[in-house]
Amino acid sequence: MSAPVSVAKGAALVIAMRWTHRLIGLVSTLILARLLVPDDFGVVAQASLVVGLLDVLTDMGVASALIQNANATQRHYDTAWTIRLAQFSLASVAILLLAPTAGEYFGDARVVPVLQVMSLGLIVAGCENIGVVNFQKEMRFGLDFRFMFTKRLSGFLITVTLAILWESYWAMVAGAIGGRMVGVLVSYRMHPMRPRFSLAEFGSIFGFAQWMLVRNIGNYLNNNVHRLLVGGRGSTAQMGAYSLANDVAQMPGTEIISPLNRVLFPAFVRAKEDPEELNRLVLLALGVQALVAIPACVGLGAVAHEAVLVLLGEKWLSATAFIEILTLAYLVPSITSTPSYVLMSLGYVRLNAVVAWCQLVAFVSVAVLIMPTAGALEIAQIRLATVLVTLAGLLFVLVRTLPLMRWSSLLGVLFRPIAGAVCLVLAVDYVAALLPANPYVSLVAKVVIGALAYVLSVVALWWISGRPQGAESYLLSKLRSLRRARKKTS
């Protein structure tokens, strides 16, 4: 059994393993993009939106409730498992009933049988062992990774194998269900807990989870209403291009920030009784996330055209403009995730829910009421504008909630990464006209030049500022530690 680790080691471990995990997803996407066409992706994307919506409408966030409760007993785990199984079963029945309506909305009858099959996967997922939540709660991230990696790898192998054999979108459906079935089997093999049907602690779990449900619904709609609108207003092929662009655009931010959040959430919970330590941890987390996520997201947008040609092929060029905008839209959640998890760790789940729903109302007001005929590109631009407003709102809530937090501290950890990203874009735009037409050469050159421009500008600004303690000094200290460790082993 692996032992708990520190926040720093846990973050490094989970990020490294999450990138391995994401590599599987990236390879899968690239292979499927070559084997299938945008129309195939559109069918599955439309069905996945319906599945995800009904899933989140019944999701009470029982895993977060268990992590937040330091004194959870077996009765809590049994109750959480029972609630989750009921949730997935209810969502499965709802999908079966709404499948014909979804087919009419999207204007594609192929969505109906896909939804009917995908509904079965939810019941399978509901049977997963609730005990695996302890891998994250107890910061045993090695086991956490092994569990997630096994599920993803099995789904990848099934999907790619069937895509080669069938050359059909059904390969993606079968791969998703197959991965969930493997996940259930592995969950009981990896953790000894054997949950039983019980609602003994329903009241205590529901007290926390009811606002998690409201928050999760708001977050899901924020992340997917734009896709629902594109699916209803455009063709299936356009939906496929937009959906793939959305998946690609969120990779830089979410694949860096998601693993950090898995480490930071339990760490914030442990530090909530020490205001000074919590304030230090929040600023450091926000600084590190901004320092890495901002250039990753902005950089992808700067090389979107070449990246699409090299990785996906010419048939996906229509996704380029979407990627350029959506990468910036997904940059904001990568920054706001730290304030969200801080509020959650302190028990202010209601505030998180309010912020999420305010963003949703703002987006719907513009995209549906003010601009009812907006196309896919305009919808992406509206999404970017609304998430920027949300960023300001969450930072305001964070300053008001943490007694030691100051605006000057928040802006201090964000200024250098933002300035460095501006230098990155200017450098890439400057050299674009000098590069050859070959997309492979151009992509490599832009990535190298952009990375150098960002690193040099951030280091220069940090040095001019007097080398303050923060994300830069933290990362440099970790690099020095790694260098010393290598020298000792060599």
Dump pLDDT digits (tens) for 334-378: 777 777 777 777 777 777 778 878 888 999 999 999 998 898 899
Q: Considering only CA atoms, which of 157, 147, 155, 145 is closest in space to residue 180?
A: 155
First to last CA, the chain: 29
pTM here? 0.66
Lowest mean pLDDT among 7-21, 39-53, 408-422: 7-21
Burial 23-45 (b: 16+ CB within 10 A, else e): ebebebbeebbeebebbbbbbbb
Tokens of 282: 């929040």
Is the Cβ–Cβ distance between 50 and 220 less than 8 Å? no
Cα separation, 431 vs 423, whole angstroms: 12
CA 230 and chain centroid, separation: 20
Helices (H), 303-438: 304-311, 320-345, 349-364, 376-401, 407-432
Tokens of 69: 């409760």
Quote the pLDDT of residue 5: 46
- Radius of gyration of the chain from its Cα atoms, rounded to whole angstroms: 23
Q: Is the pLDDT of residue 264 over 80?
A: no
Quote the pLDDT of residue 3: 46
Tokens of 98: 């709404």
Reading phi first (left if > 0) and then psi (alpha if -120 to 50, else beta), residue 129 is in: beta
Is the Cβ–Cβ distance between 461 and 419 less than 8 Å? yes
Q: How many CB atoms lie within 10 A of CB 468?
A: 12
Dump pLDDT digits (tens) for 156-188: 899 889 988 888 889 988 988 998 899 999 999
Burial class (CB in 10 A: 0-12, 13-18, 19+), 403: exposed
